[in-house]
Structure 1
C-alpha cells in the first residue's frame, strides 16, 4: 500500500515514529501540489463566493438517511421470506452494527487525511495512482447505477398511482427530469434542505405502509421462522440487507463539506440507529401481515389503496435520493478537474458550464441504463458487489491497517493492538466474501433469468 500522507496527526506523535514523521513532512513539500494531496479539500473559504464547508452534522445525517434508507427498506420483507424471519432479523441487526463500525473506521481515516474527498483519493493513499482511478471510477459507476435504480422505483410509483394508464417509459423520463433539476445545487448544504423532505418522506411512507399492512392484512401470520435454501438463493436474498447499508461510498464527500468534520460520527450514529430500527420494524410487521410471497418492493403487496398512498409518499425520497447520487458523482469529477482553481469557489462560466454538463450527462446515462439495458437490475447487483461491498465494508479495515502500519510502528504496532488488528483483517475478508458471493449469486440469477426468457426488451413502454 502506497503512503502519500501529508499531515501526520496524533498517530505520528509517538516517540517510536518521530523519524518517519519527519520524512513524511519532508515528502509533503514535494508532493503537496499533486491533486488529491492538499491539506484540505476546499481550503480556506472566508473570501470565496461559493462556500462548501457549511454542512452541520444534523443535515449530514439527513443526507445519509435519505440516500441509504430509500430502496433498501422496501426489499427487506422479501428477504425475511426467503431465509426466515429469525435469521433475517439477526442479519439486519448484525449488519447495522457492522456498518456502524466501518463508518467509524472511515471517519477516523478521513479526519487523519483531510485531503481525501472521495474513495478515489483514499485509493491513492492506499494503492497509488491505479487505486485512485479504479476506486474513483467505481464510485461514479455505482452512483449512476443507484440513480438508475431510483428512476425505476419512481417509474413504478407513478405507474401504480396512475393504474398504468400511461407509458412507463414516459414516467421514467418525467422522473429523470425531476432528479436532474434537484441535482443542480453546487453545495450539499443547499441540497440538504431538499433531503430533509426526502428523509421525512420515506420514513412517513414506511410508517403508513406498516399501518396499511395491519389494516388490510393479506395472509397474516403465515410466515417462515427459518428456511433452508441453496447458497445462491440465500445469498442473493441476503444481499438486500447487505446493500441496504451501502451508503459509505459517499461518506468522504459528505464529510468534506461539513462545518465541523469531527462531528461526523454523530451523523453516522443517527443514521444507523434510524435505519436499523426502521428496517427491523418495517420488515417484521410487513412480513407478518402480508405473509409468504411478499413482493419486492413490498408496497406492491399492500392493498391497492394503501399501495398508492405509500408509493405517493415515497416519491420525494426517490427523487432526492437519485439527485444526491448524481450530485456526488458529479462533485467527484468536478473537484478532480478544478481542485485549487478559482472555478471551485467562484461563479465562473467554465465552472458552471462543466457542472451543468456533468449533472446532465450523469442523469442521461442513468436514464438510458435504467430503461435501455434489459439486465439493468442485475447490473446494479454486479456494481454493488464489485464496489459497494468494498466501500461499505472491506476497505474500512484496510484504512485502519494502513494508518496503523505507517503511524503506529509498522507490523509490530498492528500486532500490539490485537483486537483492532483482527477486526480490521476480518473486515477486509468480509468485503471480499460479499464481493465474490454477490457476484456469483447475481451472475447465476442472470443466467437463470436469461434461460427462462424473463429479460424484458429495452425501452419497453
Structure 2
C-alpha cells in the first residue's frame, strides 16, 4: 500500500503526482510537453484512458451519426456497411500508429510538433504547415458544430427565430465551456455526458424511424453509381472517423500516455458498431430519401426529441474543438514557461483572448460564408485525409527508419518487414487519394451550388 501511495502523491503528500504511472511504463516524462507538474497551480496530465475515450467519442461520433445513413442511400446497404467497417478498422490501425509515435516522442503536443520531427531539416516548415492545418480544421469543426446546433434549435423551436440567432446563442455556452485551461477541469467529465447524450438521441431516432416508417419507401442492397456520387458517399464515412488530429493534444493530458491504445480501441470499436447499426436502421425505415442530417427525416415530434437529446454532445464537441484550437496556440507561446502551468495574469489574459477569438472566428465563418458547409468538406479533404489516414504511414516509416520502433535503423530495418512497410506506404498513398478525391467532390459541389443558386447570402437567416 505504501508503494501505491507513493506512486500517486509527492513526498509532501500535498501535490498530486501525475508523472509516476507513466514513468513506471517507460514513458520519458522529462521530455514531455508538460513535464513534471508537481507544485504547479494548473496540472494538465491527469486524465485516465476511459475519460480520453469519452473525449474521443464525443468529438467524432456526431458527424457520422448525422451523415452516414445518407451514404447508404447513395451506394446501397452492402457497399455502405463494408465501407464503414473497413474505414473503421483502417482508422483503428492509424490511431495506434499515432499513439506509438506520441509515446516515442513525448515532446509532441499536436500535429505541428510531429511535423517538426517528420520533416527533418525542414522541420520548421513541417511545424507551420501541420499546425496551420490543425488550427483551421479545429476552427472549421467548431463552425460545423454551430451549424448543427442551428438545425437542433430550429427543430425544437419550429424555426421561430432567424437561424443566425441560434448560432449566436449556441456560440456563447460553447465558448464558456472552453475556458477551463485543463481538460480535467470540466470537459473530461462533460464528455461522458455528451457520449451518453448522442447514443440516447440516436436510439430515440431509430425508435422514431422504426415506429414511423416512410410510406412507399425504397431501399437497395447495392446501387450503380458514378465516381462523383460514389466518392461523395465515401467522403461521409471517411470523415466520420476524422478525429485523429485531436489525439496528440488529448494523449498529452493523460496521466499515463502508454495507456492510450486502450482509448483508441474503445473509440473505434464503439464508433464502428454504432455507425453500422444506426446507418442501417435509419436507411431501412426512411429509405432512399433519408436526408443529411438524418434526424431531419423523422416526424417532427421524434425529430425534436432526438435533437434535444443530442444538444449536450453538440455543445461539448464544439467546446472541445474550440479548447483545442486555443490550446495549440497557448502551448506554442508559453511552452516551458510558468505562464503555462501557473495562474499568472498574462497566462490567463492570453488564454481567454484565444478562446474568445476562436469562437468569434468560427461564428463569423459559419454564418458569413454561404458555402461554409463545402469549405468544411474541403478542410476535411485537405487535412483530415492526412491526419486520420495518410500521415500515419509516414510516422511509422520515420520511426522505424530511425530506430524508435524495433531498435534497428535505416532501409535495412524497413526491408526486414516488407509486409508492414508496404502497408504503411499504401496508407500514405490512401491519404493522398482521399485528399484528391475529396477536393474534387467538394469543389464540384461548390460549382453546382453556385450554378443552381443554392448558395445563401452572408449572415442571412
Query: Is the structural similarity TM-score above 0.5?
Result: yes
Q: Are positions 1:345 and 2:341 aligned together?
A: yes
> What is the distance in 1 between the residues matched to 2:249 and 2:439?
27
2:79 maps to 87
> What is the distance in 2 between the residues matched to 1:451 and 1:228?
26
1:207 paired residue among 194, 203, 228: 203
> What is the distance in 2 between the residues matched to 1:219 and 1:262?
52
Deviations 1:413-459 (A, max 9, x none): 10111121011001000000000000011101111111111111111
Q: Are positions 1:40 and 2:32 aligned together?
A: yes
2:22 maps to none
1:146 maps to 141
TM-score normalised per structure 1: 0.91
2:155 maps to 160
> What is the distance in 2 between the residues matched to 1:220 and 1:67?
36
Offset, 1:185: 1.2
2:363 maps to 367
1:109 maps to 101
Tell me the secondary structure at the aligned position of residue 226 of structure 1: coil
Deviations 1:200-222 (A, max 9, x none): 11111011101111111114762
Distance 1:439-1:268 versus aligned 2 partners, 3 A rule: same
Tell me the secondary structure at the aligned position of residue 291 of structure 1: helix
1:412 maps to 412
Q: Is the 8 A contact 1:38 1:115 kept in 2?
A: no
> What is the distance in 2 between the residues matched to 1:265 and 1:220?
46
Deviations 1:325-380 (A, max 9, x none): 01111111000000000001100000000000000000000000001001101100
2:170 maps to 175
Give the 5 Å matches for 1:7-406: 39-127=31-119, 128-190=123-185, 191-219=187-215, 222-406=218-402
1:442 maps to 442
Question: Structure 1 stretches of 5 or more lacking a match?
Answer: 1-36
Q: Is the 8 A contact 1:53 1:258 kept in 2?
A: yes
Deviations 1:165-192 (A, max 9, x none): 1111111100011110111111112211
1:4 maps to none
> What is the distance in 1 between the residues matched to 2:305 and 2:157?
12
Q: Is the 8 A contact 1:220 1:288 kept in 2?
A: no
Q: Is the 8 A contact 1:56 1:259 kept in 2?
A: yes
Q: Is the 8 A contact 2:34 2:44 kept in 1?
A: yes
1:421 maps to 421
Q: Is the 8 A contact 2:164 2:459 kept in 1?
A: yes
Q: Is the 8 A contact 1:145 1:366 kept in 2?
A: yes
Tell me the secondary structure at the aligned position of residue 292 of structure 1: helix
Deviations 1:194-250 (A, max 9, x none): 111111111110111011111111147620211111111110121000000000001
Offset, 1:38: 7.6
Offset, 1:132: 0.2
2:15 maps to none
TM-score normalised per structure 2: 0.91
> What is the distance in 2 between the residues matched to 1:424 and 1:137?
25
> What is the distance in 2 between the residues matched to 1:329 and 1:130?
19
Q: Is the 8 A contact 1:84 1:225 kept in 2?
A: yes
Q: Is the 8 A contact 2:30 2:36 kept in 1?
A: no
Question: Structure 2 stretches of 5 or more lacking a match?
Answer: 1-28
The range that moved more, 142-151 or 405-414, is 405-414
Deviations 1:91-110 (A, max 9, x none): 00000100000001000110
Q: Is the 8 A contact 2:156 2:304 kept in 1?
A: yes
2:8 maps to none
Deviations 1:361-409 (A, max 9, x none): 0000000000100110110011000000000000001000001111132
> What is the distance in 2 between the residues matched to 1:440 and 1:204?
36
> What is the distance in 1 between the residues matched to 2:82 and 2:42?
45
Deviations 1:148-169 (A, max 9, x none): 0000000111001000111111
> What is the distance in 1 between the residues matched to 2:134 and 2:197?
26
Tell me the secondary structure at the aligned position of residue 426 of structure 2: helix
Tell me the secondary structure at the aligned position of residue 289 of structure 2: coil
> What is the distance in 1 between the residues matched to 2:341 and 2:211?
53
Q: Is the 8 A contact 1:219 1:292 kept in 2?
A: no
Q: Is the 8 A contact 1:378 1:442 kept in 2?
A: yes
